[in-house]
Structure 1
Amino acid sequence: MKKLSLLALAAASAGLAGCVSLLPKSEPVQLYRLSPPAAAAQAGGAPEAARIDVALAPTEFPRAAAGDRILTFTGPEAAYIADARWVAPAQILFVEALDGAFSNQARNVRLQAGRGEHGAPLILDLDVREFAARYDNGANAAPTIVLSMDAKLVRFPDRKLIGERTIRVEQRANENRVRAIVPAYQAAMDQALGELVGWTDATATAGAAAAQR
């Protein structure tokens, strides 16, 4: 009886293994990255020792867009693009690109990580309000990438507001395919970060000049 039970169990296991092998294999998920903006073609800028240190506060990011899935909206309905992911959480990719943008493009400031670290006299507070693809012309049309963020430059340690600005960029994809949507994300981020670096440079420089009067 025991021998029959073992044979039956072996047959069942073999049959189950056969069933698993017959299931269709899932398509691999495609991974996409976002890169820092390229260095700006500009001359001059302050020497490294004379640059104004700006500490980056923890960047706020929409919860639905912060992970590795690519967020879309069709009217009020939110969804994620199937079989596509960012290579890392979008919030991390954004902060890495932000750091690279300042390294490549800033003329008078030097971005530091962490609130108040390294004795930085200024703190950059960022609140990313939207980071998504919007299908405003229907689900089959090419979407528009929307990147919106609020920036504040605060003097430390008295926390005096030096300046604030809202940056909003909209970039339409060339077609409704991931291979076109990701470059539109990149273009929107490049433009938004370029505007942020330029504004921070100008605002920090003006604030430093005013403090010396």
Structure 2
Amino acid sequence: MITRSTRRSLGIGLLAAGMATGLAGCITLLPEVKPVQLYTIRFNPALLQKGEVKAPPATPDAKPIDVFVNFDGFPRAAAGDRILTTEGNEVSYVSGGRWASSAQGQFRDLMSEGFAREASQDVRLGDQGRVSGEYRLDINVRRFEAAYAKRRPTVVVALDARLVRLKDRQVMAETFISSEVAVRKSDLTPMVEGFETAASRVTVDVIAFTETAVADARAKEAATATPAQ
């Protein structure tokens, strides 16, 4: 004989079973979510044009000059892990792909690697955590984006570079450096390759600027220290 309490318990059990079945059905009906692809860039001499990478001759018996690199600025819209695109005054981000870490951090690491691999023995990077160098290299990134025109993207990396003598905070040299790399099609893989190429080219130009500016500063200091005859 089924009592009232038994019917109540049975009803609750059937309701719970129905809910569980419904939830299971909902789970199986959910669409599959496509994972977001992550990308990284590194200093890559293989992507540079022939003749862009030149190993400058080291000065015999010269004491290496430590240069402290100060990353002074980076576009806020491009600094994070989203890949920035622009078209005129419109700004958007690539869907389906992101940087594996912040674009600002990846560019900083790429430039440090470039100095370690391509700079002459006369110039070396000082410790990032303390002002140990004789000169400070200020890097202010102005653009780090894929700019669209007529549905075709061009990767643009542009920055201001300035060499400052630390003992008296005098600006020894400054310049604007940029690189534009046309992407053959609007696809993430060649676009990321364009970022890596443009960033590597800019790094090579920054190295050349730094070495020339340091050499000029050394020559001026030597001329000032030498008493006139």
Q: How far apart in 2 are the matches of 1:48 and 1:95?
A: 30
Q: CA RMSD in A?
A: 2.0
Residue 212 of structure 1 deviates from its aligned partner by 2.1
Residue 157 of structure 1 deviates from its aligned partner by 3.0
Give the match's secondary structure for 1:147. strand
Equivalent residues, number: 209
Q: Identify the residue that residue 124 of structure 1 maps to in structure 2.
A: 137
CA deviations on 1:45-92 (whole Å, 9 max, x unpaired) are 247972110001134111111111110012211111111111211111
Q: Which amino acid aligns with 1:150?
A: D
Q: Evaluate the alpha carbon distance shift between residue 132 and residue 102 of structure 1 in structure 2; reply closer, same or farther with a 3 A threshold.
A: same
Give the match's secondary structure for 1:143. strand
Q: Identify the residue that residue 81 of structure 1 maps to in structure 2.
A: 94
Q: How far apart in 1 are the matches of 2:142 and 2:89?
A: 16
- In the alignment, structure 1 segments of 5+ residues that lack a partner are none
Q: Identify the residue that residue 8 of structure 1 maps to in structure 2.
A: 15
Contact 1:70-1:80 within 8 A present in 2 as well: yes
Q: Identify the residue that residue 203 of structure 2 maps to in structure 1.
A: 193
Q: How far apart in 2 are the matches of 1:157 and 1:116?
A: 15
Contact 2:111-2:200 within 8 A present in 1 as well: no
2:191 is matched with which residue: 137, 156, 181? Answer: 181
Residue 44 of structure 1 deviates from its aligned partner by 2.9
Give the match's secondary structure for 1:186. helix
Q: Which amino acid aligns with 2:125?
A: L
Q: How far apart in 1 are the matches of 2:127 and 2:92?
A: 33
2-11 vs 147-156, which deviates more?
2-11
Q: Identify the residue that residue 33 of structure 1 maps to in structure 2.
A: 40
Residue 43 of structure 1 deviates from its aligned partner by 5.7
Q: Identify the residue that residue 109 of structure 1 maps to in structure 2.
A: 123
Q: How far apart in 1 are the matches of 2:168 and 2:82?
A: 39
Q: How far apart in 2 are the matches of 1:111 and 1:157?
A: 17
Q: Which amino acid aligns with 1:180?
A: P
2:175 is matched with which residue: 157, 162, 165? Answer: 165
Give the match's secondary structure for 1:57. strand
TM-score scaled by length of structure 2: 0.84
Q: How far apart in 2 are the matches of 1:48 and 1:32?
A: 42
Give the match's secondary structure for 2:111. helix
Q: Evaluate the alpha carbon distance shift between residue 41 and residue 211 of structure 1 in structure 2; reply closer, same or farther with a 3 A threshold.
A: closer
- In the alignment, structure 2 segments of 5+ residues that lack a partner are 1-7, 47-52, 224-229
2:76 is matched with which residue: 57, 63, 75? Answer: 63
Same amino acid, percent of matched pairs: 33
Q: How far apart in 2 are the matches of 1:124 and 1:112?
A: 10
Residue 24 of structure 1 deviates from its aligned partner by 1.1
Residue 17 of structure 1 deviates from its aligned partner by 2.6
Q: How far apart in 2 are the matches of 1:7 and 1:168?
A: 69
TM-score scaled by length of structure 1: 0.90
